[in-house]
Structure 1
Amino acid sequence: MDFELNEKQKRWRAVARDFANDVVRPVSQELDGRTNPLDCFDWSIIEAADSCGMRISPLPAQWGGDSTDHLTQVLMLEELSAADMGVAVTLAGAWRTMRWLLAEASPQQLNNWLPRVSGNARGLLAAALTEPEAGSDNMLPYAGTDGGMKMSAVRSGGNWVLNGTKKYVTNANRADVIIVFARTDNEKSLLEGVTAFIVGADTPGLTVGTIFNKSGERLANNSELFFEDVVVPDSDRLGAVGGGLYSFGKHQRATSAYNAATVYGVAREALRRSLVWTRSRIQGGKPIHQHQAVGAYLADMLGAVDVARTYAWRAAWAADNPEHFNVALNAFPKIFAAEQSMAVVAKCMELFGGASIMRDVGVEKLLRDASVFLHSDGTNIILRQRIATWLGTIAEQDFDTLWTPG
């Protein structure tokens, strides 16, 4: 296994690092502190991401991108998140949806929709899955017909009519193109009765509801979406009827790696700030990093970040090389990174002492951000259930393949 990054990956990581330091870091703290969540989002950041090519980097050259692979996106997300998690989440949501379109959309759909994405410097995408009464049921997914999403899509000639509500959707109020999941057969399970549709944000009957006032990742907006007799032509159905969740799972193998990078980037920033602080803070006649207990904390923090990064890199690589992929790689990297990042930031706050809870210092922001991924894109407990269910299918004679894929 080769752990050396190629030149393209190194180049994009450098682009993301410069962007994070020059564009995001100077405004992150101020935007995070604004009272109205709408004001925390800044279009100038997205426009700057467009200017340097990051916004549409996963797209092929014919649509203005660079066909960056999953590992490259993970490298970029770590750099972005170290400056601000919300910016990383905003772009990650768009990138994942672009990749899904590239994998599942027909040539005609790509020709119809990708110019709209690539030609708009503010062009973001969203995927609408969660509903007020359906979160974990959608993620597992629940096998019964009495749970999960209720939003409906009913055939009407050559169209579908969508009705229902989506909730907690990243980029929902900012996206120009939205992938929407809806029940097309209430008599079947979620894996057989849910279909995906491509919907433009300007479609009649689609409106934005509450913009949620979150504690963390405030530079990313999450909101409700209301669908009232939204008419979508069958030509904008994404994939097979009833195959929406299967398609989503198949083509979103790097989701956990993306999420992991987004949160361990926060932990990396906590470690960086801790190193700077403990070298300058004098107690007991010397910088506190020279005290044995503090040094042990810093060592633990480094180990947690590095292991989370290594796991995410492996998961991203396996997403690009599916013969080496397994279910755990699309669940546990996020679980591990989220929980270890919380531990790293907690140590950071302890090292900063009373200063850590002062808003102008910025450390408490890291704790608020890190806490988001204890639930985002699936609660850690439901992701553990997915892994446990998969483990139950592994025959004893195949147990060793869990560690030696391929």
Structure 2
Amino acid sequence: MPAFEYRALNAAGQVKKGMIEGDSERQVRQLLRDQKLTPIALKAIDKKTAVHQKSSQPGWFASKIPTADLALATRQLFTLLDAGTPLTQALQALARQAESKMMQRFLAGLYSRVLEGFSLAAALDKSPYKVGEDFVATIRAGEESGHLDKVLSRLAESIEQRDRLNKKIKTALIYPVLMVVVAILIVLFLMVYVVPKVVGVFDSMHQELPPLTQGLLAVSDFVQHQWGWLLAGLLSFWMLTNGLLRQPAWRYRWHLVLMRVPGLKRFVIYAATARWARTLGVLIGSGVTVTDALKISVEVMALDPMRQAVQRMVTQVREGNRVSQTMQQAGFFPPLLLNLVQTGEGGGKLDEMLLKGAEHYEQEVENAAATLVSILEPMLIIVMGGVVLTIVLAIMMPIFEMNQMVGH
């Protein structure tokens, strides 16, 4: 039964908006009239999403469900199913109470397709909204095993943990980013307004300015009169960098550089490892075969060198090699995770060990982020202090020279 978004007038003449299910627009209009509502506009959600889906090429332009919203919906769906609510009723309830339009349409589309007889995983596959291949595969495994509610619980925990980690990293980086922005604004203010007015006083005295002051004036003059070219240059650099990073070869080289920079490599490798291990652990624990789980986990690997290593692991495991052996041959994975995976394979608890490793490296990522910020803060202060000191010296040096001339 398709779902419709409606706008209607109540008896008091107020506009009401909402969602309602019906076999056709005619039936929906009658249902609204039965509720003493006068329909103004109806839009079939399925038709709208189908048009959107046709116009988007392999998901490139499809809307992505925010991680926080997906985590909340997954947790709520688990709660309803665990309480004995049928899947269709649970999806209908979630669609009605969703706060954002995107989530309403996403959940309403799932409800309509499940009502038509599709499985939840098939409904997710047909949805124009992106949720990730690992999410769909986990749901499919839960449905096939008959333990969808338990799988949803595990999946919700995974998404919530990923969301918490992302928020902690972003929070840790807010202060350094603000410092950089404020420093740039201060320097621009000094170069555009303060330096020309202060140093310009010496021009009328026909005094030869020190080289540092002359250089600062040249930079100030360029910023004032050539700011358009400067902005165009920065924009061109950004577009060029973006274009190069879209090329697999250049992106691979850049990721390789990130993985070798002291202080940064620990952060990026641990972050990629934590997300990959959690995804793989949830997939295997939900009943997905190891080879399929490895193949799906490639999608969540953010670093190209590690992504290619996991792709090779898929082939090697399919040929009969153990996961721990292929991880060791990859050469990127931390030793603790290798030991945990080896132990898990020996005891038949590979999924548990992967999740345990993910928890450890998620904590390590938080620690690495804190360490990185503690290093960046004093470095930024020193750099900013050096720039301001240079500007102050360029202003004060003519004054010192003038005082020496008066003293003589």
Q: Normalised by the size of structure 2, how large is the TM-score?
A: 0.23
Higher helix share: 2
Q: Give the TM-score taking structure 1 as reference length.
A: 0.23
Structure with max Cα Rg:
2
Which structure has the highest strand share of the two?
A: 1
